[in-house]
Each structure stands twice: as structure tokens, then as C-alpha cells.
Structure 1
Amino acid sequence: MKNTFHRISAHILCLPALLVLVLLAVPALAKDISVQDADALLKNPPQGLVIVDVRTPAEFREGHLPGAVNMDYFGGPFESQIESLPKNAPVLLYCRTGNRSASAYETMTKAGIGNILHMHEGISAWQRLGLPEEK
């Protein structure tokens, strides 16, 4: 019984170290921002901000965030397009609901783009709030 207690205690003591390793391995979680935060960001944009919409060109034409550029995640040369982005400039990234942009976030991070703000609720939430769009 005593040995079992010591083994369990040793495993419990390792949990904080394991948690730290997991948090360091998943830095992407800290970069999600809400639609409201994105709106505030666009009202006072940081120097060099690039707004990237990863929806299809047809979706983009229906309405997009002011100043956004379209880099279709599924339908084009996305990986070569993101190579043109400055590595350290702030990037506001979004799609319709947050799913494509979450995948694009991973691709962009692997390409060395380091300052990505992911509007995780997507433009559909932006539109529900009646925030400004360009067409």
C-alpha cells in the first residue's frame, strides 16, 4: 500500500511540469480574438497590419473586412501567397466561421509568420453585429 501511494504521489507531482510542456507546445491558443476585439483593432490599427480573408473569391466579393486581402485557403496557391507576407507584421486572420482560418493559422505559423491574430468567430459573427464591410 505504501509503495502504491508513493507511485501515485510521484505521478501527481509530474502533472504541473506536463501542463507547462503542453502549454508551450500549443501557443496558437493565445492568439484568438473576438469580433469585438477585431473591430477595436481596426479602429486603431497597429503599424503594418495586414488583414487576410481566407474564404473563396466569391465569398470575399459578397463582403469582407475593410482593407482585407483575399488568400483562398483551399482554392489557390495559399502557401506561396503567404510567403509574401511580412514575417513580423501583425496579421488579422479570418474566414466565415473560424474553421478555415484555424487551419490557415497553423500553416502560416509553420511558414514563420509570428504575429497572427485569429478572429475565431469569423465574418458571420461580424455581420450579425452589423459591423462595416467592403464589397
Structure 2
Amino acid sequence: MSNAFNLQQKRPKTMLWLLGLSVLLMMFSALAMAADQDPKVTWQKIEAGALVVDVRTPGEFAQGHLPNAINIPYEQINTEFANKQIAKDRSVVVYCRSGNRSGIANQMLVSEGYTNVYNGGGYQMLMSKQH
């Protein structure tokens, strides 16, 4: 009887601990996806010859995009990079409307072994900070 009682006492503490851990992991994941996004660094990378990839929809891309950008919607990023045989160490800047989709694309590329990918953030922000 005492073992069952001890398990019942420990279960709420374990559940709270797991919930707290889950919240922390989600926060770190969101921070990782929002990482980078410094317009100054983005423009330096672009000026140094980085491949510029707009990961928005073709319709958004048609309404305006960064100079020399190519359009690869974020859902297709890994497939298209493989099809285009883009080197895993190539300097790449990804951007979208707000930085969220480019954060996802960034993580997708890193998970495939790309080592020099930068989340440039949002299009409007980059255009307003262009030098």
C-alpha cells in the first residue's frame, strides 16, 4: 500500500517537471528559429556573394524580392537544394515575410548538413535597412 501511495505523490511532481521541460524546449526552439535576423549581417553576407533565397510563395515573390534572390518556397527547400546540387558549405541567406518561414527553412537545411545558412529575417525589414 505504501508503494502505491508514494507513486501517487510523485506523479504530479513528475508531470509538472515534464510540463516545465516541454515549455523550455519550445522556447529554445522558437529562439533558435528566430536566431540570426540581423539586417547588417544579412547585407554583409549578400554583398560577400551569398546565395539569396526567398522562401515565400511565388505570389509573394512576384510582388517584390531582394536583388538576385531566387524563390524556393520553404516547404520545398531541401528537395530544391538537392536538385540544384547546392554545395553544403555554400553561403546561403534565407528570408521570408517575417523571419518565421526562413527560420524553418534554415533549420531544415541545417538538418540536411548545410553549414553556412543564415536566417535573414523579413523582407520589409531588410529593404528598410538596405545600405
Range class of TM-score, shorter chain = 0.5 to 0.7
**Does residue 90 of structure 1 match 2:94?**
no
- Runs of 5+ consecutive residues of structure 1 not aligned to the other structure: 1-21
Match of 1:124 in 2: 124
One-letter code aligned to 1:123: Y
**CA–CA distance in 2 between the matches of 1:34 and 1:130?**
10
| Correspondence list, 1:67-78, <5 A | 67-74=68-75, 77-78=76-77
Match of 1:115 in 2: 116
Offset of residue 36 of structure 1: 2.4
**Contact in 1 for aligned 2:55/2:101 (Cα 8 Å):** yes
Match of 1:79 in 2: 78
**CA–CA distance in 1 between the matches of 2:100 and 2:93?**
15
Q: TM-score, normalised by structure 1?
A: 0.63
Q: Give secondary structure in 2 for the equivalent of 1:51.
A: strand
**Contact in 1 for aligned 2:95/2:102 (Cα 8 Å):** yes
One-letter code aligned to 2:111: K
Match of 2:36 in 1: 32
Q: CA, structure 1 residues 34+130, in 2 after alignment: closer, same or farther (shift >3 Å)?
A: closer
Deviation track 1:62-101 (CA, whole Å, cap 9, x = no partner) reads: 1111111111124xx4331022321001101111100001
Comparing both structures, which one devotes a greater share of its residues to helix?
2
Offset of residue 57 of structure 1: 0.5
**CA–CA distance in 2 between the matches of 1:126 and 1:98?**
11
Match of 2:20 in 1: none
Q: CA, structure 1 residues 78+117, in 2 after alignment: closer, same or farther (shift >3 Å)?
A: closer
% identical aligned pairs: 30
Structure 1 segments (4+ residues) deviating >6 Å: none
Q: CA, structure 1 residues 58+108, in 2 after alignment: closer, same or farther (shift >3 Å)?
A: same
Q: TM-score, normalised by structure 2?
A: 0.65
